[in-house]
Structure 1
Amino acid sequence: MQTATTPGTTRRGPLGSAGFRRFLMAHLISSTGSAMAPLALAYSVIGGGGGAGSLSLVLAGNTVPAIAFLLAGGVLADRLSRSRILFAGNLLAAAAQGALALIVAGGHATTAAIAACGLVSGAATAVTAPAAQGAVRLLVTAEQLQRANALLRLPGNAVKLLGPVIGGLVVAASGPAWALAWDAATFAVAATLLLGLRLDAPLTVTSALDDLRAGWTGFWSRAWLWTYTAAGTVLVAAWLAGFQLLGPVVAARRYGGAPDWGLVQATFAGGLLAGTLLALRLRTHRLLLVSVTTGSGLALPLLALGVGLALPYVLLAAALAGVGLDLAIVAWTTAFQRHVPPAELGRMSAFNQVGERLAVPLGYLVAGLAADAWDSRTVLLACATLIVAATAVNLCVPDVYRVDRAGRAGPAERP
């Protein structure tokens, strides 16, 4: 079994582990395809004669399985070989995206066909997410987790700056089918790399249902875990409602429309990348406290847009939010991996991610209803207030100050 004691891990940091290098390479390759896929998917729907309603159906088909299959993926990750789960999930996603590319290229891209491929791809991604969380803990030492998590964030944040631009050029020059085919190819290459990890399956004698029940008990017994998940659900819902949904509306009315909003998005992505680079060098002791406080920076651009500040201040707020968010993600992931035993990482990750995924439809629904009653800037200020309030409530949890880099296990954290 490949574990964190792999030779070379301590000598050169996480990159000294051959298994982690393979995992990182698979993530990098897959990220290049994932960055182009949303744009190609949208233009596949439009090219097939669909409009906003058809696109929302396709996006829902991609999102719903992420919620439905996460718990199954969490149980599987704690029962089966994580490398085999990652291999199968990426291979299934490759098949789904490859089939979609062929459908689009052949001119048969109906909304139903695109949604069906998205359903399969979304299910594959959801099943593999908990396994990926647990795999990192087995590939590097506990002391190297923060740096490893930051390195894994680096490819995705880098391609967020370049991927959509390159994807747009590919779609404009040759059509969406080629971009979708590239996404399928990156999934296939990633699957091959991940199979080579050869992480053995955990030993288990209980049923899957018993594992799920035990997982919920373990999740609920860790106050720091479920309170962070609850606060995170509110925070993510408010952020998506304010920034993703209402931000473009306010930009169109007060600022320069799409070009200015594109600049805000790019600045936020640049902040994410800067946050990753900072996380590579910054040693934080109270990991959960750092995550809770830096994540509250998401309120800044909502506040700037809500009060109508000039564009340069909005850009500054977006950059600071990006830096804070990435620091929060790296600190949280590191705390989670250090304080949850490897045998439970899959299920604990699944319960945590279910809360965050539920925030997506919740945020859009609440924002849509609120926008009918109030103007967009008032809703933006309300969303900023929700983020600050969720952070303040989370800071009242004593365990937030105890979950640190040392990874000292309390009663609920001991294997």
Structure 2
Amino acid sequence: MTNAETTTHHTRRTPRRSVLLEPGFARLWLGTTASGLATWSLPFVLGLAVLTRELSAAGLGVVLAARTAGFLLAVPVSGVLADRHSRRAVVLWAGLAAAAGAPVIAFGLDRSVPLMAVAALMVGAGQGACRPAFQALVAEVVEPARRQTANAAMALSVRVITLTAPALTALLATVLSTSALLVGTGVVWLFAALVPPRGRHTAPTDARSFSFVREFADGVREARRHPWFLAGLCALTAVIATGYSATAVVLPLVSRDRYDTEAVLAAALTAYTAGALLGALVVARWRPRAQGWAALAALACYGFAPLALLFPVHWVVVVAAYVVAGLGIELFNVPWFTATQREVAPDKLARVSSLDFLLSYGLAPLGLALIAPAIDAFGVTAVLGVCAAACFVVPVAAMFAPTTREFGRREDRVSG
């Protein structure tokens, strides 16, 4: 065997190291994990402020609504800026904005709800501005063949944070004041702003004058080039706006009225996160032949959550349904993000990602706002039935759109 053959033979047998050991992705993973921790901690810290009477329940609603508004306003702007400029710079300034807003929220505590709302708007804007830039950075620092594993690692960190953030916040609250905890979220945002790596994206060199409307419209046109993206986005939006919203409102009622205990509520929410953790682990290595169809079928599994709430079943069935829902949502999310990074033109990736977040997560508050009036008007049974049907039917209908079988045409794939 020649030296060249020996080298080739050795290379084939040498296992590739984990994507988390790659310095660029490790820094990106730490940044997204920190931003997720700060994002999930803030509502719990503000909830503690309500318990200590430093903030009223109405004030809590105003502050959280302001944060959501900041998120929705910043997402499309960030998508345009992250395609026109450095994605790393967008993350930096977004993280700094959120870091600056957190201590202002702390200062306004028990003093001024309007001041807290303005600061929360800034924090939400930082949170929203990070999302498209982080998604685009994955495509810059990770080679195409390893992006699904990288996205699974990102999803895993989000789910672990979802599971541990409340307990961590409660533990820290035993030794720190609410104001100190709010400032602490700002410190975490500062870390999220500074740690991510530089990517390979270069700003466009065309001389045309900047127009936000035109730039965002270019992103919409790019999204329309991909039928699988439009179909998948419709399915995801339908599931979040109906299934997620319905279960968020009805689950506490069912836990209280049908089972006469809050334990079912806690168990179901924990089961959902556990299912999502399992989904992230599975999808890190699972590559089905028709990945798009498999992802949409998994997304449809969210329908089991409202379906379980619809009938007087044993509480174990409700918990199991939430495990399946969590599993399905992550089996969809990771291939969905990976396909977007693979198929969309690199110079429009942040704008298309911002469209994804704007519609799928942006309509969730609207769904939450409409569910309660719908229940009053039509009853819990009708609302849960419609929501379960939407969760099952819309993802299956999306499979009939062109190019959804693999989330893209092989011959049209954009090199990452």
Q: Same fold (TM over 0.5)?
A: yes
| Other structure's SS at 2:295 match | helix
**1:3 alignment partner in structure 2:** none
Correspondence for 1:97 among 89, 102, 113: 102
The Cα RMSD (Å) is: 2.2
**1:297 alignment partner in structure 2:** 301
User: Residues 33-67 of structure 1: CA distance to partner in whole angstroms, max 9, x if unpaired?
Assistant: 33322111223356456544332222211112222
1:355 and 2:359 are equivalent in the alignment: yes
User: Residues 279-338 of structure 1: CA distance to partner in whole angstroms, max 9, x if unpaired?
Assistant: 222123433222211011111121011112110111111111111111111111111111
For 2:154 and 2:368, the matched residues in 1 are separated by: 29
**1:37 alignment partner in structure 2:** 42
- The structure with the largest alpha-carbon Rg is 2
Amino acid at match of 1:132: F
Question: Greater CA deviation, 285-294 or 25-34?
Answer: 25-34
CA contact (8 A) 2:232 2:395 kept: no
With over 3 angstroms needed to count, the CA separation of the structure-2 counterparts of 1:280 and 1:178, relative to structure 1, is same
For 1:56 and 1:264, the matched residues in 2 are separated by: 24
CA contact (8 A) 1:45 1:111 kept: no
| Other structure's SS at 1:398 match | coil
Query: Percentage identity across aligned positions?
Result: 24
For 1:43 and 1:387, the matched residues in 2 are separated by: 34
CA apart distance, 1:392: 2.4
For 1:233 and 1:144, the matched residues in 2 are separated by: 27
For 1:173 and 1:182, the matched residues in 2 are separated by: 13
**1:384 alignment partner in structure 2:** 388
TM-score (norm 2): 0.89
1:130 and 2:135 are equivalent in the alignment: no
**1:258 alignment partner in structure 2:** 262
**1:409 alignment partner in structure 2:** 412
For 2:242 and 2:377, the matched residues in 1 are separated by: 17
CA contact (8 A) 2:300 2:396 kept: no
For 2:117 and 2:291, the matched residues in 1 are separated by: 40
**2:65 alignment partner in structure 1:** 60
Question: Greater CA deviation, 86-95 or 364-373?
Answer: 364-373
With over 3 angstroms needed to count, the CA separation of the structure-2 counterparts of 1:31 and 1:232, relative to structure 1, is closer
| Other structure's SS at 2:404 match | helix
CA contact (8 A) 2:27 2:195 kept: yes
For 2:411 and 2:341, the matched residues in 1 are separated by: 12
CA apart distance, 1:227: 2.2
CA apart distance, 1:197: 2.5
**1:5 alignment partner in structure 2:** none
Amino acid at match of 2:180: W
1:214 and 2:223 are equivalent in the alignment: no
1:318 and 2:322 are equivalent in the alignment: yes
Amino acid at match of 1:90: G
For 2:310 and 2:392, the matched residues in 1 are separated by: 15
Correspondence for 2:87 among 73, 82, 88: 82
CA apart distance, 1:187: 1.0
1:248 and 2:252 are equivalent in the alignment: yes
For 1:326 and 1:17, the matched residues in 2 are separated by: 23
Correspondence for 1:157 among 150, 156, 159: 159
Q: Which runs of 5+ in 1 are unaligned?
A: 1-9
For 1:103 and 1:318, the matched residues in 2 are separated by: 38
User: Residues 99-151 of structure 1: CA distance to partner in whole angstroms, max 9, x if unpaired?
Assistant: 223443xx42x321221111001111112211111100011111101000001
User: Residues 152-178 of structure 1: CA distance to partner in whole angstroms, max 9, x if unpaired?
Assistant: 111111122221112123335533223
CA contact (8 A) 2:87 2:136 kept: yes
Runs (4+) off by over 6 Å = none
TM-score (norm 1): 0.90
For 2:161 and 2:221, the matched residues in 1 are separated by: 38
Question: Greater CA deviation, 284-293 or 309-318?
Answer: 284-293
CA apart distance, 1:22: 0.8
CA contact (8 A) 1:43 1:176 kept: yes
CA apart distance, 1:68: 2.0
**1:193 alignment partner in structure 2:** 195
With over 3 angstroms needed to count, the CA separation of the structure-2 counterparts of 1:28 and 1:129, relative to structure 1, is closer
1:327 and 2:331 are equivalent in the alignment: yes
Correspondence for 2:78 among 73, 81, 84: 73
Amino acid at match of 2:294: V
Amino acid at match of 1:399: T
1:339 and 2:343 are equivalent in the alignment: yes
**1:397 alignment partner in structure 2:** 401
CA contact (8 A) 2:140 2:199 kept: no
For 1:255 and 1:167, the matched residues in 2 are separated by: 28
For 2:410 and 2:51, the matched residues in 1 are separated by: 50
1:273 and 2:277 are equivalent in the alignment: yes
Correspondence for 2:23 among 10, 18, 21: 18
**1:283 alignment partner in structure 2:** 287
1:146 and 2:148 are equivalent in the alignment: yes
For 1:200 and 1:317, the matched residues in 2 are separated by: 42
Number of residues of Structure 1 aligned to a counterpart in Structure 2: 399
CA apart distance, 1:381: 2.2
For 2:245 and 2:36, the matched residues in 1 are separated by: 25
